Amino acid sequence: MKGPAVIAYLVCLVVGQVPSPKRITYEGNQVWKIANKTTTLKVLKSLEQDKRLTIWGLTPDGVDAMIHAGAVDQVREKLLENNLEYKVSMEDVQKAIDEENPKAGQDLEGRKGFRLTWNYYHNLDDIYDFLHYLEHTYPKLCTVRTIGGSAEGRPIKLLKISNGRKGNRAVFVEGGIHAREWISPATVTYIIYQFVSGYNKETSSMRGLDWYVVPVLNPDGYLYSYNIDRMWRKNRSVTKSKECLGVDLNRNWGYDWGKNGSSEDPCHNSYGGRKPFSEPETTSVARFFLDNPDIDWRGYVSIHSYGQYIVYPWGSPNAVLDDNAELNKVAKEAAVNIVSAGGETYTVGPAGLTIYPAAGISMDWAKGSQAIKYAYTIELRDTGRYAFLLPAKYIKPTAEEALIAVRTIAKAVAS
Ligand SMILES: [Zn+2]
């Protein structure tokens, strides 16, 4: 600690507070949607290498990138030079961060049972307390267990929902593997609550399956994104690099690990780790599968944002599934059901060809290593207007869409 930091620390000690690290600001950063031509990704990746921008995502109408404060002119010049059109989709990233999650209001005061709402994005404690609330309130349906610990030692909690009958088919639902995709844990907890609290009205295929749900597979990253760096994606483990922390947990699974769409650079957002399953978070799930060979896995659903996609293997390798037609049919049906209910449009297809190639992802591991037939990744709202910073007022409509998709997958799994 240097002089001023020491003084700040002492002041905090005197007033009885532990100094908290400062939040990272994204003031002056913008998000641009850039036309997706053959050269786009190459140009953007070289600008990313030079720390001028960070690629956020591929959407049906272009590539979104966050242009770093101070680099706007250079990036504009480079795009013009390469004939790449763009439009500014977010004028100021910090402003979007400030507006995304209003402070919890009076509706949290005096609540009994649990604090979790779907009007705000909540911290990890509220999410975990909610799981235990369900276990206490619906003991015949719900059990909570800890399947492992994160890199920083936080528990990874799994909720099992089951009618207790022997021989049920099983579905694994994984949320929050990417820290900054806050809508994922919010959606997963919403689905759980609708299912459990309205159990008797739920579809028979949902009720006839055993559900294993991890709402936050990356608890360290989620908290770091919640408290310090809103745009954090990876976990928080120490890497071989001195200056960069974190592994992209959705590049760390032991199927086709380290191939296309995964980085070897610990400072990169898609760093796949030093080897497959190097991370305690991914290992906790793999070990749970290994320790429970009697569970009849038939479905795996990984929930992310954003882009509005319902995709299936492969993310990598670049090959077509034998049962491509069957998986496509279910994904299409889910997308149609969402639109019929007044929801948004979701694009359907094999992940690698529909979005971009990504190797070492959980969905491919589920399909390729665990032979789980119905393996899906759902990329929730939106298509780039708010991107990762989807305002909290959209949690419920987004989660409703995901619930429809999960019901559609459940019907296929159960039949
Ligand atoms: Zn993601």
User: Where a domain ends, among 100, 131, 160?
Assistant: 100
Task: Please confirm, yes or no, whether 379 is among the known catalytic residues.
Answer: yes
* Mean pLDDT value of segment 111-131: 93
The upper half-sphere exposure of residue 94, i.e. CA atoms within 13 Å in the direction of its Cβ, equals: 10
User: What dihedral angle (degrees, nearest 10) is formed by the CA atoms of 348, 213, 382, 123?
Assistant: -170
The pLDDT-based confidence of 242 (bands split at 50, 70, 90) is: confident
* pLDDT 10s digits, 73-105: 999 999 999 999 999 999 999 999 999 998 766
Residues of the chain with pLDDT > 90, as a percent, come to 91
* Mean pLDDT value of segment 106-115: 76
Phi-psi label, residue 340: left if phi above 0, alpha if psi -120 to 50, beta otherwise? alpha
* Mean pLDDT value of segment 3-8: 52
* pLDDT 10s digits, 183-235: 999 999 999 999 999 999 999 999 999 999 999 999 999 999 999 999 999 99
Angle at 163 between CA 157 and CA 164, to 5 degrees: 85
User: What range does the domain containing 344 cover?
Assistant: 107-234+249-414
Distance 322 CA to ligand 1 centre (A): 26
In this structure, the answer to whether residues 118 and 39 fall within a common structural domain is no
* pLDDT 10s digits, 132-147: 999 999 999 999 999 9
CB 121 within 8 A of CB 136: no
In this structure, the answer to whether residues 141 and 188 fall within a common structural domain is yes
Distance 312 CA to ligand 1 centre (A): 14
Q: In this structure, is residue 361 part of a structural domain?
A: yes
In this structure, the answer to whether residues 192 and 307 fall within a common structural domain is yes
Predicted local distance difference test score (pLDDT) of residue 94:
97
* pLDDT 10s digits, 298-330: 999 999 999 999 999 999 988 899 999 999 999
Distance 61 CA to ligand 1 centre (A): 19
CATH code (residue 54): 3.30.70.340
Predicted local distance difference test score (pLDDT) of residue 343:
98
Distance 250 CA to ligand 1 centre (A): 7
Residue where the block lists tokens 């009885």: 16
Distance 403 CA to ligand 1 centre (A): 18
3-state secondary structure of 147: strand
DSSP state of 256: S
Distance 404 CA to ligand 1 centre (A): 20
User: Where a domain ends, among 71, 100, 129?
Assistant: 100
The pLDDT-based confidence of 112 (bands split at 50, 70, 90) is: confident
Distance 304 CA to ligand 1 centre (A): 4
In this structure, the answer to whether residues 37 and 118 fall within a common structural domain is no
- Distance CA(172)–CA(68), nearest Å, equals 38
Say which of 281, 379, 400, 401 is annotated catalytic. Answer: 379
